[in-house]
Every structure is written in C-alpha cells, then in structure tokens.
Homo-oligomer: A and B are copies of this chain.
Amino acid sequence: MTRYGKRADLIVHEREPFNAETSLAALAEGPVTATDAFYVRGHGAVPEVDPATWRLEVRGLVERELDLSLVTLREAFREREVTATLQCAGNRRAGLIAIRDIPGEAPWGPGATGTATWSGVALADVLALAGPLDDAAHVGFEGADVSPEASPVQRFGGSVPLDKARRREVLLAWAMNGDPLPPVHGAPLRVVVPGYIGARSVKWLRSIEVRATPWEGYFQHVVYRLLPEDGTPGPGAGMPLGLAALNADVLSPANGATVAAGPVEVRGYAFAGGERYVARVDVSIDDAASWSQAELLDDLGPWAWRHWRTVVDLAPGEHEILVRAWDSSAATQPEDEAALWNPKGYVNNARPRIRVRAVAA
C-alpha cells in the first residue's frame, strides 16, 4: 500500500497534489476497477472534511435554497447506484507529448480512467426539492479543494447543462464499489457525471449553484478546453470539453511484450461517452488492411465501458496490433494521433496501437 490506500503499482505523476494513474494490468483485472487501483486526478491537496459538520449548500436560480447534512441526504432521498466509467480529459496525453512537448502538463499514459459502482442520491432529486427557476440552464459544483495551479487560486469547480443534471444517472455519491467513498476520491460526497470528462465529477462537494450560464471558474473557463493546434490558453479560448469522447485501449498483452506465436488473446476496453454506447470493436494485425470484430464482454449498463476480447493468430516475428472502436452514432476513433495534438494535450482518442513480438514455442 502507498499513500491514500492505493496499491504500489499505481504510476504516480505528482505527489502533492496527488496524481496517479492505474496500470493497464490492473485495468485488465476486470470491468470494475478496484478502488485501491483507481486513478486519482487532484488539483489541490486532499481537503480535511469532517462529515459530522459538513453541509451541502444548494443556491442560485432556485425557488428554495437548501443547506443539507449528510444525515438529511441519506434520510430524505432514495439511494441510487450507477456503474460509471470516469476518464480524465488528459488520459493518453503521453502519446501527444511524444509528437510535440506539452510543457507544464503531466504525461498521463492510458490509465487515467476506470470504472466503479457509485452509490448516493440522484442530483435530480435534490434539484427537484430546490426547484430550478425558469432561467436556470446549468448546474455548477464547487469542491472544498483549493487549487494553487488556478489563476486566481480558487476551489475546484465546474458545471453541466441542467438537462444533463436532471437525468437520473448523475449522482451525489458517498460510496464507491460498496464501501464509503475514500478521502482521496472526494469523501464525504462527490458528484459523478457519467458520460462526461472526469473533471465534471467534482470531489469534496460543498456547494451546488443553479445558474443561467456555464461555470466561469478556472477549471472550465480557462482549462479543460480544446484549443486549435496554434491556439493560446486564455479565458474562453477554445471549446469547452464536456461530453467524453469515444476511446479505447489494449489492456493485454502489454505494449512491447513478447508472446508465444500462434493464437494470442487480445483484451481491452472501449468507452463511448455521452449517451452513446459501444457498438463494435475491430482489431487489425495488418495495419488496417483488414479487421476482425472483437467480442464485447460484460454489459454493466449504459454508463460503463465495455471490456472486449479477441484472439489473433500471430506468426513468429514483430507485429503491430491496431484497434478501432465504433459508437452507436456510427463514429469511430481518429486514425492520426498527430492530428489530435493540441496545446493542453486533451482528448487523445486515436486508435490504439501496440507492438508485440511473437516467438515460436
């Protein structure tokens, strides 16, 4: 065990604030990621929150402002459970950095993602009690964590459209994989916005603000925005990220592995984002000249990734395994990773490609 109850095989990018990704071997263990292996993306120190005195404030464009204790949340609303994949917008940034450096941003590999079963109350139920007014259009979340990287220094926060906030999959969660939410994942209460970039699932939630406009804090108005290749970060520059993009990866074998020639099992994940679902995953061992379809494994519901598997026949020698997922809007992953390069290194969802060496048994 290392800090925050995490396994030793997490890849730590930063110790303070703690930022660490899951190894692909741990992701390959199954479609639900173990809590002690789940990635952590923090923008400030883990705040110390006393659950006994903690309150959730709901304010802004509402008929009735709320100020709720954890006890009230648990007693007044029905408990709900959602299995949802979270994915950091910076996942796979290392692939973009390999093309051109991105100074000041952590070189996240492919493990800034994971799937857990979250329990808590539906944000929709809390909003219904508060009663959004007619001009309400967005719902903002503010955490207790203060981020020195923000300019000016501020608490982490972000918003989602009211239409999304009212869907029953958006939770205020106090449990993760059946256990109380760990401090590093946002205890006592965090937001879980399935289908959106991880940054909208605000941890250590302290206030909800019903708004007419999107969040104007640093983490939505300045960063977590996709800039054109020649763009410069700044307030309002670029497009705000929100809905997660279609992505996939190979979880096994490892990139660079040596395997026995013959039939080789290839496993991975695919995640569609938003309201889309994973419709198909194709695998090629001849550089996209031909594709075979992988088998989609356990269906954990509309908000979770799909693990997949296939078997490819590899002759002795060097091979490249190329994967492309398709979502239910008939979109597939971009071919060209270089064309995805952007100044902050977000949303690398290029087709994954690994190299393996097959040796005769």
Stoichiometry, copies per complex: 2
How far in angstroms is the closest Cβ of chain B from A262? 24
Q: Which residues from B are CB-within-8-Å of A173?
A: none
Q: Does A346 contact B (CB under 8 A)?
A: yes
Q: Does A10 contact B (CB under 8 A)?
A: no
A326's contact among B239, B291, B330, by CB below 8 Å, is which? Answer: B239
Q: Which residues from B are CB-within-8-Å of A328?
A: 239-240, 242-243
Q: Given contacts A275-B274, A275-B275, A291-B228, is CB(A239)–CB(B330) below 8 Å?
A: yes
A residues 21-47 in Cβ contact with B at 8 Å: none
Q: Does A126 contact B (CB under 8 A)?
A: no
Q: What is the interface of chain A mostly: helix, strand, loop, or mixed? A: loop
Q: Does A347 contact B (CB under 8 A)?
A: yes
How far in angstroms is the closest Cβ of chain B from A84? 16
Q: Is the CB of A239 within 8 A of B275?
A: no
Q: Is the CB of B332 within 8 A of A274?
A: no
Q: Is the CB of B335 within 8 A of A244?
A: no
Q: Given contacts A228-B293, A293-B228, is CB(A239)–CB(B332) below 8 Å?
A: no
Q: Does A194 contact B (CB under 8 A)?
A: no
Chain A positions within 8 Å of B, measured between CB atoms, are 226, 228-230, 239-246, 273-276, 279-280, 282, 288, 290-291, 293, 326, 328-332, 334-336, 339, 346-347, 349
Q: Which residues from B are CB-within-8-Å of A326?
A: 226, 239
Q: Is the CB of B332 within 8 A of A282?
A: no
Q: Given contacts A279-B239, A335-B336, A336-B335, is CB(A329)–CB(B273) below 8 Å?
A: yes
Alpha-carbon gap, A346 to B331, bound state (A): 12
Q: Mind listing 13 A-B residue pairs with CB under 8 Å?
A: A226-B279, A228-B280, A230-B290, A239-B279, A239-B280, A240-B328, A244-B329, A246-B329, A274-B274, A274-B329, A275-B275, A288-B339, A331-B331
